[in-house]
Amino acid sequence: MHYLDTSVLLVYTLAQVLEEERYVHVSKLFKLVNAEKIKAITSFYALHELFIIAIQNAPDLETGSKFGKEALNKVLETKIILAPLLNREDRILYAQKFSSTTPFSSRSPRLPAAPPNPQVIQ
C-alpha cells in the first residue's frame, strides 16, 4: 500500500498547470489506483491540508472554498483508502511522546504558494 501525502494530492488536483511533468506521473498513479492494480491510502490530515492550500491561495474565502471542495471531490471520487483522524487518547499519547519546547507555529513550514488563480481540471 502506498501513502499519498498532500504534495501528491495537490499535483493531482490544484497544481496540474504548475506541475505538468509531475501531473503526468501522478495521473498514471491514480489510474492504477482506480483500476485496483495498486492500493493507496491518504489521511484526513492530508485532505484538510489540501483544502487549506486552496483557501490560502484564493482571492477570497468563497473562491478558495469552491476550489477546495472541487479538489476534495476529485480525490474522494477515486478508489483511494482514507485513514481516519487519531482518536482523543492517541492524540494525547503522541502529544506527550513527541512534545517539543519549540512552539508549533515557529517550527511548521509555510505552505507553498500557488498562482493567484488555481485551476482544477474536471
Total number of domains in the chain: 1
Contact 14, 53 (CB under 8 A): yes
Domain presence at residue 79: yes
Q: Which domain holds residue 83?
A: 2-87
Domain presence at residue 42: yes
The pLDDT score that the predictor gives to residue 90 is 75
Domain presence at residue 105: no
Other residues' Cβ atoms within 10 Å of the Cβ of residue 105: 6
Domain presence at residue 122: no
- Residues 62 and 30: their CA atoms lie apart, in Å, by 28
Mean pLDDT on 93-120: 55
Domain presence at residue 100: no
Q: Which of 5, 7, 1 is nearest to 112 (CA)?
A: 7
Domain presence at residue 94: no
- Residues 28 and 52: their CA atoms lie apart, in Å, by 25
Domain presence at residue 115: no
53-67 residue pLDDT tens: 999 999 999 999 999
Model confidence at 82, pLDDT cuts 50, 70, 90, reads very high
Model confidence at 121, pLDDT cuts 50, 70, 90, reads very low
Domain presence at residue 110: no
The pLDDT score that the predictor gives to residue 9 is 97
